[in-house]
Amino acid sequence: MILAVHANGAAIHSHVVVADTENSLKGTMVVSNCNHDTLSNSKNAMSHTLTQKVQADTVNANSQVQVNTITQLSDGTLALDYQCSGVSDQKTAINTLKKAVQTNDVQKVIVQSTIDVVSTTGKTNQQNNNQPRKFIQFSILPVIR
């Protein structure tokens, strides 16, 4: 199931969040059409964005999210593994993180990685302008529980 697709082709294919310890969570997001190096360079931005989402609920105001690794999988997608520590209410934090992947803030970090892939392909602007355009409706998809 694809959770969100942006017009430039970036897609979040899956997102899983589970309890790790009494006050921490582990999560994995699988994304496609992103550059590994660029997304790796965006780990701090993603950590910050996810932290803001979790801290928006005052019960988890002391929580911190840290993106630990980004691994390229055999099918070319990228697995982004993170940990959320300092969690007071796990259920609320899990729900918040599940919803966060569908927000513009999180998707912007992923989309920026895709934009960097396109800009580093070596094509000139004129060559890119001669390519047929694909327009895809971007929408936020509900999380099925």
Which range (9-18, 67-76, 86-95) has the least confidence? 9-18
Is the model's pLDDT at 116 over the cut of 70?
A: no
List strand residue ranges (DSSP E) for 22-94, in order.
24-32, 64-72, 78-85
- Which residue from 101, 99, 105, 25 is spatially nearest to 63, judged by alpha carbons? 25
CA distance 124 to 112: 19
Q: How many Cβ atoms are within 10 Å of 62's Cβ, its own excluded?
A: 13
pTM of the model: 0.74
Fold of 4-118: Gyrase A; domain 2 (3.30.1360)
CA distance 119 to 20: 38
Q: Give the residue, 55 or 9, on which the prediction is more confident.
A: 55
Mean pLDDT of the chain: 80
Is the model's pLDDT at 12 over the cut of 60?
A: yes
Q: Give the residue, 10 or 138, on which the prediction is more confident.
A: 10
Q: In what order do the strands lie in the sheet with 4-5?
A: 64-72, 78-85, 24-32, 11-21, 4-5, 139-140
Assign 35 to helix, strand or coil.
Answer: coil
Is the model's pLDDT at 131 over the cut of 60?
A: no
Tell me the pLDDT tens digit for each residue of 14-68.
Answer: 999 999 999 999 999 999 988 899 899 999 999 999 999 999 999 999 999 999 9
For residue 135, the model assigns a pLDDT of: 38
Q: Residue range 91-103: average pLDDT? A: 94
Q: Give the residue, 145 or 34, on which the prediction is more confident.
A: 34
